[in-house]
Structure 1
């Protein structure tokens, strides 16, 4: 019988189909459609980790939580560098 007083670890498998760029586009569209400032809301989410910054409209909140916040930052930074620094 395994010891239950030890810390248990588990790893969540990420969806192979989840594309960060697609997530950003979908979340942006849902926030815009609901009348929110998408930049402010996405920044709030990235900085705090609080998913309530993202509307649940069209499943945007569930969708953005499928990717790590650092992956979102990485995608945005890569896009910015490719467009502005080259």
Structure 2
């Protein structure tokens, strides 16, 4: 539980999953969504915003795979990679 008057910035740190594993999972999920005819970007954004795994197809176990990684970890990696470019 976070406490405070809202005047201080809360530091957020978490234990990281292996970045290569996260990349492999995102790639597999992306490919499964493409194979089923979905727009992978739209579906992944929907999942990231809502947390609802129904945005991800069960084709090729993609839904099970994406649920193995915390959304916070995915966002952290994506932002870090985006800012490096």
Normalising by structure 2, report the TM-score: 0.74
The answer for the alignment partner of 1:36 in structure 2 is 38
- Give the Å deviation of 1:43: 0.6
Q: Where in structure 1 are there 5+ consecutive unaligned residues? A: 1-14
Higher relative contact order (CA 8 A, sep 6+): 1
Q: TM-score, normalised by structure 1?
A: 0.73
Measure, in 2, the Cα distance between the counterparts of 1:37 and 1:82: 25
Task: Report the equivalent of 1:6.
Answer: none
1:30-74 residue CA offsets vs partner (Å, 9 max, x unmatched): 111111011110010011110000000000000000000011111
Residue from 59, 63, 66 that aligns with 2:65: 63
Partner of 1:19, secondary structure, is helix
Cα RMSD over matched residues? Answer: 1.7
Q: How many pairs align?
A: 68
The 2-side partners of 1:25 and 1:78 are apart by: 17
